[in-house]
Amino acid sequence: MKTKELPAKQLPTSPRVGKNYLDLSVKSWFVVATLGQWIFGLYIALFYGKSTLSGEWETWNKVLPHGYVKDDLTGNVIVAAHVCFALIMVVGGPLQLMPQLRNRFKTAHRWLGRMYILTAILIALDGLTMVCTRGAVGGLLQHIAISVQAVYMVVFALLALHYARQRDFVKHRQWAIRLYLVSNGVWFFRVSLMAWLMLNGGPVGFDPKTFDGPFLWFLSIAIYALPVALMVFELYLYAQKNPSKPLLQRTTTSLLFLLTGLMLVGIVAATMGLWIPRM
């Protein structure tokens, strides 16, 4: 008895399977990242909101070096603005990237996008001002790296706006994602550091008192100056455009699942060790 063969077009193809797994890895990364960022956003709102409303502004200094300085109204306003901008970024960023919301609520997407781009530019300039006037934790290399990140944010924000106005929405979305990735540099830094601490059982490769050392130099470069997140995104775009290269798709998929797992470890560690105790 002969078996009826399926037409060739109905047979599963390895490129299609590879694309499905690649898409799954990206969606998994985004879901985990969104969950972590919204937990961080809740922490920002509760920690800074409670201390501000109660008039205990000195509490800021438990998190930010020289976050509150008595009789320095201008500097304190800059810090407060930075915190508010950060809340908008971590809450609004994921909302802008959700296709269901973007396609269904186009007007809201456009207005939130304008606010996001403006906020990204302001928080970058605000952050540079804070580094120059109030300093930051760590050494000079970390300060330079985070300043480079601020430049990325301004440039990527302007490019995302440019392509939106040109109605080239493919390039607009790509630059918006790049902006999202660099704008969350501080969040990525904290989560990566907490994952490192959890996996090593404590500080390794840096001095926790001075918050300086080889590992933090590497992390600052990998997060801020030469963002690994951007490199992985470019690799994903290349793999997406080349479905006939299964090895490339498998490598990219595996890398994304690995990074998602490490990020989840860092989110759990940061939530339990940093954010919940301060809420």
pLDDT in tens, 115-164: 999 999 998 998 888 787 766 777 889 889 999 999 999 999 999 999 99
**Could you list the residue range(s) of the whole structural domain that residue 261 is in?**
33-49+56-278
Query: What integer pLDDT is reported at residue 135 of this predicted model?
Result: 65
Asked whether residue 169 is assigned to any structural domain, the reply reads yes
Asked whether residue 5 is assigned to any structural domain, the reply reads no
Asked whether residue 127 is assigned to any structural domain, the reply reads yes
* pLDDT-derived band at 90, boundaries 50, 70, 90: very high
Of residues 163 and 65, the one with the higher pLDDT is 163
Of residues 4 and 38, the one with the higher pLDDT is 38
Asked whether residue 8 is assigned to any structural domain, the reply reads no
Asked whether residue 155 is assigned to any structural domain, the reply reads yes
Lowest average pLDDT, out of 48-57, 213-222, 224-233, 251-260, goes to: 48-57
Query: The tokens of 122 are what?
Result: 């302001």
Asked whether residue 106 is assigned to any structural domain, the reply reads yes
Whether residue 11 has pLDDT greater than 60? no
Domain count, the chain: 1
Query: What integer pLDDT is reported at residue 66 of this predicted model?
Result: 65
Whether residue 16 has pLDDT greater than 90? no
Asked whether residue 194 is assigned to any structural domain, the reply reads yes
Asked whether residue 6 is assigned to any structural domain, the reply reads no
- For residues 190-195, give the mean pLDDT: 96
Query: Mean pLDDT for the chain?
Result: 88
- For residues 101-123, give the mean pLDDT: 92
Question: How large a percentage of the chain has pLDDT more than 70?
Answer: 91
